[in-house]
A = this chain, B = another copy of it.
Amino acid sequence: MINALIGKILSGDYPIGERLEVCGWVRTRRDSRAGVSFVTVHDGSCFDVLQCVIPQTLVNYSNEVVRLTAGCSLRAAGALAASSGKGQAVELLVDTVTVIGWVDDPETYPIQPKAHSFEFLREVAHLRPRTNTFGAVTRVRNSLAQAVHRFFNSEGFCWVHTPIVTASDCEGAGEMFRVSTLDLQNLPRTAAGGVDFTQDFFGRETFLTVSGQLEVEAYCLALSRVYTFGPTFRAENSNTSRHLAEFWMIEPEIAFADLSMDADLAERLLKSVFRHVLDERQDDLAFFDDRILKGCVQRLESLVSCEFVRMDYVEAIRILEGCGAAFEFPVRYGIDLQSEHERYLAERHVGAPVVLMNYPKNIKSFYMRLNDDGTTVAAMDVLAPGVGEIIGGSQREERLDVLDARMVECGLDPADYTWYRDLRRYGTVPHAGFGLGFERLVSYVSGISNVRDVIPFPRTPGHAEF
């Protein structure tokens, strides 16, 4: 007998009449007056459940089958049949069923077959993947992650595992988590009374990384096409639906490339992963479109087929100043655009994703390449309709003298960046890259607006349960 995944059964991999065994968890049970129970079973392999038709003639019908509740695990065997009922094309005519695990006190089992609030489900994050929504999120998140690797692999990129524990601060400003094994009850002290980090595990003060960019640049200047895809951390005390203390980020870096090639790469990446998920997870996306955000599938289809529009920051400011819209944050040259501005540009002015380029240097990081005008840098943000910024990147400053001057201007000491400066001393090349927050990507695709609900176990201020 074939042990079959429900996803394979429902996608037509087995002929009617085939004898199959399925393993999974009960979502619902309905007993007909005719002495048959309809038990729907999910195993995580697809969105839909398999209807198992269980006759009362089974030996364990009266003492087990009729006691099945949501969440019970079972193994069922029988013949695949065309279904006359509505809602499914096929069903399993069960002749043997084994209950594997019961639900302890079904009345209090948190995952009932009804709608739960996302807030409640966060409190049972270990059980929420059993729901329709979080099963779909998990599969879509996986599909997107696989698509990211496939895209980069097909374009000749190497995945590089940059360090999580680091002594450097990429942005020069991030709030970081300290990593330490020092005994807090008995901290070693320097002669001056400070904490003696030379006695810590790494012999220095260390933190969780906020970005792998600086390190991946070193690999870019040897392998030409590289990317990171790993966890990053921000110790910001911000309780918004767009921020996590721990999140996954994708950071490609390309050598012999300028900002325009960087924008090309961003557009190709987004279109490729969206195309992939549209093709692979139609079932889950249909659910999101129906229950989470109407139109979220069309939004992806549009993005895949349209051309991204490039615009200079200075032009964007001109448009926003003249558009007559009432913004909460006033617009003037030199501001960092807010979400409301970004969305106006992408949704109302252009009606397509916008690659906004060449920002004033004062609002951008030291490593971004100074343009010839001396006042702007070769930075870009990709603004998507519906959410605003989804990618941020730049061409990097490859000229050592300009980099040093920018560091000083930003209050950084070039001596703290010896190895990073080496990359400009030895065979420097124009290079560029960007960062894509993976949770924002999943959020965009699913329409689920709170990033806490698109990562398995969210870490936010006050929350590190599980």
A interface residues with partner B (beta carbon < 8 Å): 5, 7, 23-26, 43-45, 71-73, 75, 100-104, 109, 111, 125-127, 129-130, 134-135, 138-139, 141-142, 145-146, 149, 153, 156, 158-168, 175, 177-182, 184-185, 187, 194-195, 201-204, 206, 208, 215, 218-219, 221-225, 230-231, 233, 235, 237, 245-246, 248, 255-256, 398, 400, 419-420, 422-430, 455-457, 459, 461-466
Contact = CB atoms under 8 A, between A and B. Distances in A.
Number of this chain's copies in the assembly equals 2
A152 B279 CA distance: 19
Contacts of A163: 246, 456-457, 459, 464, 466
Contacts of A71: 426-427
Nearest to A101: B428
Most buried by B among A44, A102, A162: A44
Given A101-B427, A181-B235, 18 more contacts: A44-B223, A73-B428, A75-B256, A100-B429, A127-B218, A127-B222, A130-B221, A141-B158, A141-B161, A142-B159, A146-B149, A161-B456, A165-B208, A165-B246, A165-B464, A177-B201, A219-B456, A419-B466
Nearest to A457: B163
B461 A202 contact: yes
A207 B130 CA distance: 27
A349 to B, nearest CB: 34
Nearest to A429: B73
Contacts of A7: 156
Contacts of A109: 426
Contact of A248 (B130, B161, B459): B161
Residue of A206, A224, A462 most packed against chain B (CB within 10 A):
A224
Nearest to A104: B425
A160 B419 CA distance: 34
B129 A218 contact: yes
A243 to B, nearest CB: 13
A357 B181 CA distance: 35
A464 B202 CA distance: 6
Contacts of A256: 23, 75, 100
29 contacts: A24-B224, A25-B221, A25-B427, A44-B224, A73-B427, A101-B398, A101-B428, A104-B400, A109-B426, A126-B422, A127-B218, A127-B222, A127-B422, A138-B158, A138-B219, A141-B158, A163-B466, A165-B177, A168-B466, A175-B181, A177-B180, A182-B184, A184-B184, A184-B187, A184-B195, A185-B195, A202-B463, A204-B464, A419-B465
B248 A466 contact: no
Contacts of A237: 201
Nearest to A257: B23
A309 to B, nearest CB: 25
Contact of A156 (B5, B165, B231): B5
A5 B224 contact: yes
Contact of A429 (B101, B141, B233, B235): B101
A464 B167 contact: yes
A165 B456 contact: no
A145 to B, nearest CB: 5
Question: What 3 pairs across the A-B complex have the smallest Cβ distances?
Answer: A44-B223, A101-B428, A129-B222
